[in-house]
Amino acid sequence: MSVLIVLRSRVSLAFLALGLALILAVACNGDDGGGGETPVADEEPEAVGGATAEIQMLPGTTFDTDELIIGAGVDVKITADNTNGFHSFAVYNSEDDAVGGEESIAETETCSAPCVDSVSVNLAAGEYFFRCEVHPTTMTGTLIVQ
């Protein structure tokens, strides 16, 4: 009979430990429910308190992405990492503005790789246009501000 009591105590203790482990696993899994979304600019504060995004110029005349997503109404530092060639990065209100010769919202210096430069923007929600000023018809993309 005493063996049965000891066995029941151990089984109860095992179930209690399993229950606690499940509670901790659920509480600590860190899932924010946003799986499958396009990455948004890192919003960890920098020394100046803004968010960051990065784009790379790859071999040939291409960016590593044709779409960047950043937050609206916050200071965002966009770093352009030129890994190959002679490039720049410029943001415009629209493609029509860029083609029509309007002034850019922000623009890096043109440089020969390897080089890194950045621009800072604080934009209202919407879609903007970006391009390399050296290759304005082949290196283009959309800056989504949300």
pLDDT tens readout for residues 33-58: 333 333 344 433 333 446 999 999 99
Total domains, the chain: 2
Question: Same structural domain for residues 107 and 55?
Answer: yes
Question: Same structural domain for residues 10 and 63?
Answer: no
Question: Same structural domain for residues 140 and 81?
Answer: yes
Dihedral sign for Cα atoms in the order 100, 133, 106, 126: positive
Give the model confidence (pLDDT) of 55-106 as tens digits.
Answer: 999 988 999 999 999 999 999 999 999 999 999 999 999 999 999 999 999 9
Residue 57 included in any domain? yes
d(CA 85, CA 12): 67
Question: Same structural domain for residues 60 and 5?
Answer: no
Residue 42 included in any domain? no
Question: Same structural domain for residues 68 and 130?
Answer: yes
Domain that holds residue 106: 51-145
Question: Same structural domain for residues 79 and 109?
Answer: yes
- 110 exposed, middle or buried (CB, 10 Å; 0-12, 13-18, 19+)? middle
pTM over 0.85: no
- 3 exposed, middle or buried (CB, 10 Å; 0-12, 13-18, 19+)? exposed
